Structure 1
Amino acid sequence: MPEIVVRPLQQSDHAEWRRLWTAYLTFYETTLSDEVYALTWRRLFEAGEFEPKGLLALLDGKPVGLTHYLFHRSCWAKADNCYLQDLFADPDVRGKGVGAALIAAVREAAAKKGVTNVYWMTHETNATARKLYDRVARRTGFIEYDLL
């Protein structure tokens, strides 16, 4: 069985991170400017309690998935929350445990900070990912609204 390793992003991962994040954005039919790519990459390595963090999944040593997550305060609890903002696995490795390994790694990072609430969103049409999410998490029933 292939070995999945999940580790924090490293500066040397830039090209693979960009490839994976671009594929994720393409899946959601969106694009970002080079300025936002550069800013996001920089933020992933900045010190700070509320800066985003990034993890890379490797399958047999090859980068095949990524996640971005961040911690934020809550008015409902003393502990912070952890928002798993982006999660992506290359299409040819889906169903091999990459997504589950990334989610587990975020949960572990949150637990190290004493955070128990890890949450995320996905589009209702993302049936492949939702099969995984329905297996590893509970659906809350909340509906997202964005101000125009």
Structure 2
Amino acid sequence: MSDATIRPLSASDRAEWGRLWQDYLTFYKQDLAPEVTDGLFERLLDEGGHFGLVAELDGRLVGLVHSLPHASTWSLEPTCYLEDLYVDESLRGGGVGRKLIEAVSAEADRLGCYKIYWHTEEGNARARQLYDRIGTLSDFVKYDRP
């Protein structure tokens, strides 16, 4: 398991978080306007909605995770959407991703969430190796409407 420390995102993390966020967007072939990224960072710092956690190793950020607890129509308790998860490519498979998901689980438990859910691309085989060990693959199909 990785020696990375998982902690809440802080305002002083902006530059390093931005580097990881851009790597994540590049991985998923996305290009966002700077104001979207700026708005996201502010939301992650503002308690009451999204929350952001980071993995730190040897004084630098090596991973991030963004989650959104929300009400559910299927339960009186909230649920938690693990929206974004990224680990520096050089450290994948070393336990950082698992530690980030475990930290989301702990925060979701603290908030009284009854479950955590997330999505990934079908072809993201490296991530799915982890997800298949810690989660249950759903039968649901996701649709988007731009």
Q: Which runs of 5+ in 1 are unaligned?
A: none
What whole-Å deviation, never above 9, does each CA across 1:88-129 have from its counterpart, x for those lacking one? Answer: 000000011000000000000000011131000000010000
1:8 CA drift (Å): 0.2
Q: Which residue of 1 aligns with 2:123?
A: 125
Q: Which residue of 1 aligns with 2:66?
A: 68
Moved more, 137-146 or 78-87: 137-146
Q: Which residue of 1 aligns with 2:4?
A: 4
Q: Which residue of 2 aligns with 1:56?
A: 54
1:2 CA drift (Å): 5.2
Q: Distance in 2 between matches of 1:121 and 1:96?
A: 21
Moved more, 63-72 or 52-61: 52-61
Q: Which 4+ stretches in 1 moved above 2 angstroms?
A: 59-62
Q: Secondary structure at the match of 2:119?
A: coil
Amino acid at match of 1:86: D
Amino acid at match of 1:31: D
Moved more, 53-62 or 88-97: 53-62
Identity rate of aligned residues, in percent? Answer: 47
Asked if the contact 2:2–2:95 (Cα under 8 Å) also holds between the matched residues in 1, the reply is: no
What is the correspondence of 1:90-101 to structure 2 with a 5 Å cutoff? Answer: 90-101=88-99
Amino acid at match of 2:62: V
Normalising to structure 2: TM-score of the pair? 0.96
1:3 CA drift (Å): 1.3
1:61 CA drift (Å): 3.1
CA RMSD, Structure 1 to Structure 2 (Å): 1.2
Amino acid at match of 2:51: K
1:147 CA drift (Å): 1.8
Q: Distance in 1 between matches of 2:3 and 2:144?
A: 39
Q: Which runs of 5+ in 2 are unaligned?
A: none
Are residues 1:29 and 2:25 paired?
Answer: no
State which of 120, 134, 137 in structure 1 corresponds to 2:135: 137
Q: Distance in 1 between matches of 2:90 and 2:139?
A: 30
Q: How many residues align?
A: 146
What is the correspondence of 1:71-86 to structure 2 with a 5 Å cutoff? Answer: 71-86=69-84
What is the correspondence of 1:106-117 to structure 2 with a 5 Å cutoff? Answer: 106-117=104-115
